[in-house]
Amino acid sequence: MPRTAQIGLPMTIEQGWLSSVAQLISPNTDKRPSTEDVSLLVIHNISLPPEQFGGSYISQFFANCLDISAHPYFAEIGHLRVSSHLLIDRDGEIIQFVPFYDRAWHAGVSEFEGRSNCNDFSIGIELEGSDYIPYTDAQYQALVQVTKTIRLYYPLITGDRIVGHCDIAPERKTDPGPAFDWVRYQQELNG
């Protein structure tokens, strides 16, 4: 049975995995070109079906076992092979799919500060959400806690190197969307 993180309790990273969080290993990963180069944190959103929350569809999607007959939208995405390092659900529960020393397939065609292939040097965090539906207090609390922990282990991820998917793939992506409160997140992160 997966372990659940308790918001507020200290977290550590042990051999690429956050302590005290659920783990569900995704096959959609490979080795990074360099583990010394992790220097970007990318925040995303996902909901399956779109704008519906709860259930295990996101985990199934990242594990390549999404039942495409469960919803019409799933037939459109069932062939995709994607993952993220972390998912934070609406209750603030955290699941890790890929160890931080490996490359998760979250950014797609992307570029940051003139450098392409952001998956090579980034950590991806998915928030269960949608561009126009406010995120929950529990999600912000968990995201701040996770970000602080990640930055202790990956000091190249400075404040100006925490971005949305929309920032690295602006012609394709809009997440985490206008509903994400960047000011609140930065204030809580720096508070």
The secondary structure of 52-66 as a DSSP string is ---SSHHHHHHTT--
Confidence category of residue 189, pLDDT binned at 50, 70, 90: very high
Q: What is the pLDDT of residues 82-135, one digit of tens each?
A: 999 999 999 999 999 999 999 999 999 999 999 999 999 999 999 999 999 999
Alpha-carbon span 186 to 162, nearest angstrom: 10
Averaged confidence pLDDT in the chain = 95
Query: Does residue 170 form part of some domain?
Result: yes
Query: Does residue 110 form part of some domain?
Result: yes
In the chain, beta strands by DSSP E:
13-14, 17-18, 22-23, 29-31, 40-46, 86-88, 94-96, 102-104, 111-112, 115-116, 122-128, 162-164
Query: Does residue 7 form part of some domain?
Result: no
Q: Name the active-site residue from 14, 93, 126, 128.
A: 126
Alpha-carbon span 152 to 98, nearest angstrom: 19
Alpha-carbon span 22 to 4, nearest angstrom: 6
pLDDT of residue 7: 54
State which residues form the domain around 156: 18-190
Is pLDDT above 60 for 176?
A: yes
Domain tally, the chain: 1
- The residues, ordered by sequence, that sit 6+ positions from 80 with a Cβ below 8 Å of its Cβ are 61
- Sort 9 into a burial class: Cβ within 10 Å, 0-12 / 13-18 / 19+: exposed
Is residue 36 flagged as an active site residue? no
Q: What is the CATH number of the domain that holds 169?
A: 3.40.80.10
What's the DSSP call for residue 134? P
Is pLDDT above 60 for 4?
A: no
User: Can you tell me the mean pLDDT for 36-44?
Assistant: 97
Query: Does residue 1 form part of some domain?
Result: no
Query: Does residue 5 form part of some domain?
Result: no
Confidence category of residue 3, pLDDT binned at 50, 70, 90: very low
Alpha-carbon span 157 to 121, nearest angstrom: 10
pLDDT of residue 191: 85
pLDDT of residue 35: 87
